[in-house]
Structure 1
């Protein structure tokens, strides 16, 4: 086909779908896990999901055809819809992903000064490719704990939308080898500057620190930015914060045919977004949910990038206690033995898709991939397999996924690392081991994973949404046809 002669084909290939546009908005609105959870909450609210609290008693409150969600630490969110034909002991169709990405976080005491510059002390979070953070237009986002005028304490989100920080590289004239041997020290070279000392003194905030309880820990010029952003009257209303740095360059579509997504945090906001969207889309059809014998659930965890062993990570009790509370909420005052039996029955009828981004084959480093396992963008969601169970996929669980993919004709690929290469891991193996859940590990292919700027394919957003939607709608039927000894 000659694209010059066939302009209609060329124009069609350049069309950007609404789901890709919405994903770009989701990423741009989510510079921290707290923002990602807030973005998810807004979408769930608009879709008719009701917020519940972990600290409340759920007994008798969860109804068939009901749609619910809750958060933990405001950085992890669980959402679920109860099938119309669900009864305690039936299964749960689960998709798990994570909201966090490698980043730099502001230290508890961040006040630094060197050679006439004011600097902000940061520490690394996760396994980032830290050299990509140099010479970027950086800002801060996260949450601030404030005291209101009514002497109440609340969590408030903050996102400064302009660049205020930068980590400059050393000029090549001062180190002729830097282009070949750039290996920055994470403690001494990765410290961003926020202002010059001269300008901070002449144009900065009032330097009377009498009521500035945090002035000894952080530069007043930083604190004043926070005060303005969270809309409080004084610095002493700010009691603590968790802030990460982010690149102010927004996510965007690129490529000659609009085929690429250039963005921060694709790992793992793409899988979080697609799981969330699939759950919402699958429950718009009231007939589909009314006829479902299962519960449809997504769990978007924090802290996967640092091992998940936190109160709101996948290696916590979060998913187990959630399943117990959901399945036992309507069985009244049954004995502990009956309750445990129902929980065990539920676990063995349930299924988990562990969704985390995958490695697309790199055109300049194709030898890093095993020859028969080179995932490509636009060619489908990747099933991840590892003989040493760094991924939880088995023949039985990949079969179930393939059957679910047939609902919307979703293409699938396979990935297995080279025998001489290390292999990452996901939330899949830990949840599978801790709960005994059947699990499959999957992800969309991307390049530059853990860089400040990553690349993925536009078609793959839709592929993942429809795979998850097909799974939610078809899993009980698929499972009923599998013979289990």
Structure 2
């Protein structure tokens, strides 16, 4: 029989595969899509008419960067509740600008925009690749293609300390001037292609005018399409070094994009696991996950949690001609877990945590509280989750920020306010949040998957036990 640590490592390694295949939100959704198809879920399109029946398992995507998947309980009736987990697919990163062509001091550079609240100095002196989606013309059709140039083609070189002695004690930089990565040199470009790039952007140019022909040619080769057929693209820079287990005892996960692909993967895994059990046959609810894009920039997009996407989809799933108020009846019977990573106590900055709320690695899933509603947790939703966690034998920790510290937020308050649905904010403890490389423990993957699986299986029973 495998030891407890071996089981945790196995779960962690499956997550490593997921995150390494997901260098952009588009890749994360496609990887989720493939896993759902393999688990027997069928894909829907928003523009089509839906006919939803008990025991159906479906998913739908929007913008290829957000995904909602659901499984209908065998005893579901319109007006019954939703057992729901929300997370997000995006992470802070550098994104290629619409016109990225840069030439300076004989270097070919790529203009980038800062997406989200990244710890940007960690992006310097890293081996960077590009990944995202490309819109390609194929005959009379326009196709969406994923691209991942999986080699280190970019780098943001740091300034030598000899030229700025303050670098040894503080690091200050201008995000517009000092975060532009190097792609090549003009000298080598001329040797390789016979061409010499200039910083001038030709009037009425195509993509190889707005962007360096070197970059466009790399995309063309990777996708095996002519550069003339590349209409547009959205590219993220990403660390070329893959996620891995780390530490002397391989107890850590060192990875990019833990915030929030960790929660997205565990929610997906929990839903799939729960549908493999007989509990779905007897379930009266609809089990669902919603993985949104654009959380890191406020969720105000058509594919973000601030849009109408979830309300529209839940209404379509629940309402029928025999019960036109089924959606409104379902909301107070439902519960959403807003799953996003949590701030673990840092050994070098322990004073940043409130004395009685210091989430530690390996010690369980974290419930997040905030009296000013930066998190959506209430005593009722907490009581329900504690009961679920006890049944799943998953330890729970509590977190609240110091009164003299700002508090981040999540999709939890956005969704709970927009839907009126009871919500709780939870996550797993990590360090280096919003760095290009983050860190958590291997225990957190299995703990989250077990908690989410049990939540899907027993929430209606726990809700029915609440006598008030």
Give the TM-score normalised by the residue count of structure 1. Answer: 0.93
- Corresponding residue of 2:148: 159
**Range that drifts further, 214-223 or 412-421:** 214-223
Alignment of structure 1 residues 325-364 onto 2, 5 Å: 325-328=316-319, 331-332=320-321, 338-339=323-324, 341-364=325-348
- Corresponding residue of 1:117: 107
- Corresponding residue of 2:10: 18
- Corresponding residue of 2:257: 265
The alpha carbon displacement at 1:435 in A equals 0.9
Contact 1:95 1:354 in 2 (8 A): yes
2:102 alignment partner, SS class: strand
Contact 1:356 1:444 in 2 (8 A): yes
The alpha carbon displacement at 1:210 in A equals 12
Contact 1:205 1:221 in 2 (8 A): no
Contact 1:129 1:452 in 2 (8 A): yes
Contact 1:207 1:220 in 2 (8 A): no
- Corresponding residue of 1:82: 72
Are 2:125 and 1:130 equivalent residues in the alignment?
A: no
Are 2:181 and 1:192 equivalent residues in the alignment?
A: yes
The alpha carbon displacement at 1:407 in A equals 2.2
Are 2:172 and 1:183 equivalent residues in the alignment?
A: yes
The alpha carbon displacement at 1:62 in A equals 1.2
- Corresponding residue of 2:428: 444
Contact 1:293 1:476 in 2 (8 A): yes
Contact 1:205 1:224 in 2 (8 A): no
- Corresponding residue of 2:441: 457
- Partner Cα distance (1:46, 1:211) in 2: 45
Are 2:231 and 1:247 equivalent residues in the alignment?
A: no
- Partner Cα distance (1:207, 1:346) in 2: 63
2:23 to 31, 38, 44: 31
1:163 alignment partner, SS class: strand
Contact 1:103 1:128 in 2 (8 A): yes
Q: Size of the alignment, in residue pairs?
A: 464
- Corresponding residue of 2:402: 418
The alpha carbon displacement at 1:313 in A equals 0.3
- Corresponding residue of 1:311: 302
**Cα–Cα, structure 1 residues 173 and 146, in superposed 2: closer, same or farther, change >3 Å?**
same
- Partner Cα distance (2:313, 2:7) in 1: 41
- Partner Cα distance (1:470, 1:57) in 2: 32
- Partner Cα distance (2:403, 2:191) in 1: 60
2:314 alignment partner, SS class: helix
- Partner Cα distance (1:205, 1:432) in 2: 58
Are 2:231 and 1:231 equivalent residues in the alignment?
A: no
Contact 2:93 2:114 in 1 (8 A): yes
Per-residue CA deviations over 1:173-220 (Å, capped at 9, x if unaligned) read: 111112222111000000001000101111137789999722221100
Per-residue CA deviations over 1:439-468 (Å, capped at 9, x if unaligned) read: 000000000000000000000100000111
- Corresponding residue of 1:57: 49
1:121 alignment partner, SS class: strand
The alpha carbon displacement at 1:434 in A equals 1.0
Per-residue CA deviations over 1:331-384 (Å, capped at 9, x if unaligned) read: 23x5xxx52x22110111111000000000000000000010000011000000
Contact 1:107 1:123 in 2 (8 A): yes
The alpha carbon displacement at 1:14 in A equals 6.8
**Cα–Cα, structure 1 residues 366 and 153, in superposed 2: closer, same or farther, change >3 Å?**
same
**Range that drifts further, 96-105 or 169-178:** 169-178
- Partner Cα distance (1:229, 1:39) in 2: 19
Are 2:346 and 1:365 equivalent residues in the alignment?
A: no
- After superposition, the CA RMSD in angstroms is 1.8
The alpha carbon displacement at 1:151 in A equals 2.3
2:211 to 192, 204, 218: 218
Contact 1:212 1:236 in 2 (8 A): no
- Corresponding residue of 1:394: 378
1:164 alignment partner, SS class: strand
Unmatched 5+ stretches in structure 2? none
Contact 2:73 2:282 in 1 (8 A): yes
Are 2:465 and 1:472 equivalent residues in the alignment?
A: no
Give the TM-score normalised by the residue count of structure 2. Answer: 0.96
2:279 to 266, 270, 288: 288
